[in-house]
Structure 1
Amino acid sequence: MYYRNANCALVVYDITQSSSFARAQAWVQELHTQLGITPGQSATNHTSGAAGTSGTPGSTKQPIVIVLVGNKLDLAELPDRREVAYETGEEYAQREGLVFWETSAKTGENVHEMFVELAKHLPVEDKLNEAAAAVGKNGKRGNRTIDLSGKGGLGTACQC
């Protein structure tokens, strides 16, 4: 698994298999360990919604956004198929500071909404600050000036 410079991680489990949820919890702990995150630090200030639970975007500097995704929501209504209750995933996500959604990759239910919510949590401001720092004086990248008025010819050095 690649961690360096990651801004987000999606940890997906199958709501019809409790063993899948247990493995997802292990992956969350692995992320916390590898990234030096204390539980509850990934996302903050959770609010519950009908489709998912999410932190308040931009509320604090977040080391990484971790989204816990319960998949196969299309099977939830079938008798005896769901093994992981919505509340179980939601409570775990809140305790660990994760954004939580249930989706169906098959039907597409909540998939777009989950990615939109994820995008709201990404540290865009940090990236903009990094880009601004890379820009030189007068809004130009770098610090070289190119003289376009000179006549170049054979034997002259390229000005670019």
Structure 2
Amino acid sequence: MLVGKAGQESFRSITRSYYRGAAGALLVYDITRRETFNHLTSWLEDARQHSSSNMVIMLIGNKSDLESRRDVKREEGEAFAREHGLIFMETSAKTACNVEEVLLGKK
């Protein structure tokens, strides 16, 4: 979930209701914007607090097609996912790289 600071809190109150009964969640950050990666801990805490303990959470680094503008190393995403027990993938919505795999739950 990528949200600007101004709308972040009001958006959160809405998203909390969606966690109830959810089988899974995608935490998505933009590999070209460090601040989106820096907010992951907060979003993960929110997801875990408002969902069942067996909900599957995937960490998705998006915009992998913009390698030259990368601000978050793949290894950082992998380490965050490993530390928090998440499935990790990098995708590109523009080129559709790994998008189908994410939606089908394939790693």
TM over 0.5: yes
Aligned equivalents of 2:106, 2:88: Cα separation in 1? 14
Greater Rg by CA: 1
2:85 alignment counterpart: 97
**Residue type matched to 2:34 in 1?**
S
Moved over 6 A (4+): none
* TM-score, normalised by the number of residues in structure 2: 0.78
Aligned equivalents of 1:23, 1:100: Cα separation in 2? 16
Q: The residue matched to 1:93 in structure 2 has which SS? A: helix
User: What runs of 5+ residues in structure 2 fail to find an aligned partner?
Assistant: 1-14
- Do the aligned residues in 1 keep the contact of 2:21 with 2:51 (CA within 8 Å)? no
User: What runs of 5+ residues in structure 1 fail to find an aligned partner?
Assistant: 38-62, 121-160
Q: Does 1:74 align with 2:65?
A: yes
Aligned pairs, how many?
91
* TM-score, normalised by the number of residues in structure 1: 0.53
Q: The residue matched to 2:94 in structure 1 has which SS? A: coil
1:8 alignment counterpart: 24
Aligned equivalents of 1:12, 1:82: Cα separation in 2? 15
2:49 alignment counterpart: 33
Larger relative helix fraction: 2
Aligned equivalents of 1:11, 1:21: Cα separation in 2? 10
